[in-house]
Amino acid sequence: MGGRDQDSGNPFWDFSLSVYDRSDVAAACLALQDRRGVDVNMMLCCAWAGGRGQTLSAADLARLITVARPWQTEVVAPLRAVRRHLKAAAPEFAPESAPGPAIDQLRARLKDAELAAEAVEQRMLFDALAGTAARGTPAVAGANMVAYLEILDITPDATDVAGLAAILRGCYPDLPPLQAVWAVTG
């Protein structure tokens, strides 16, 4: 996600770029994505909504998933898979058959396309997320993230809790680590 300004008219995208670039957040998001199949954009949406004082119900989360999942599954995930495959398989391509710089350029273009696709997904989520902005709390953001995992039928283990706490600390940089854990363990 880091540093791209794909949709500067979307406060959710701006929030996500800011949070994702903070210490440990990208690693936590990617671990949840890879270990549990979590949509990082949905996780960040839960945190953003909580920061705006919105408690997301199961119905809200189901609606947001319905909006985002087709795009995530059919566009974002395939772009990510090809980019990751090229990164992992690059040594298999002999320099004479596919020069390293050409593969690197292709991977960079795929990363840009993946980021643009994520910006589109976040615009969909932003447009689908009704409600007015208010002052949120880490507890509301944490509860939203845990509710999203519950919708996915995931019971957070210690690794998941640590990841959720890292994301929450990215949203609230002054939040002490133990309070972040409490916010996601309720």
Question: Which is nearest to 48 in space by CA: 8, 1, 13?
Answer: 13
Spatial distance between the Cα atoms of 104 and 163, rounded to a whole number of angstroms: 30
Residue type, 63: R
Spatial distance between the Cα atoms of 33 and 16, rounded to a whole number of angstroms: 15
pLDDT tens string 137-154: 999 999 999 999 999 999
Question: Which is nearest to 40 in space by CA: 164, 142, 131, 178?
Answer: 164
pLDDT tens string 98-134: 567 778 888 899 999 999 999 999 999 999 997 767 7
**If DSSP codes are grouped into helix, strand and coil, which group holds residue 134?**
coil
pLDDT tens string 25-52: 999 999 999 999 999 999 999 999 999 9
Domain map (residue ranges) of the chain: 11-185
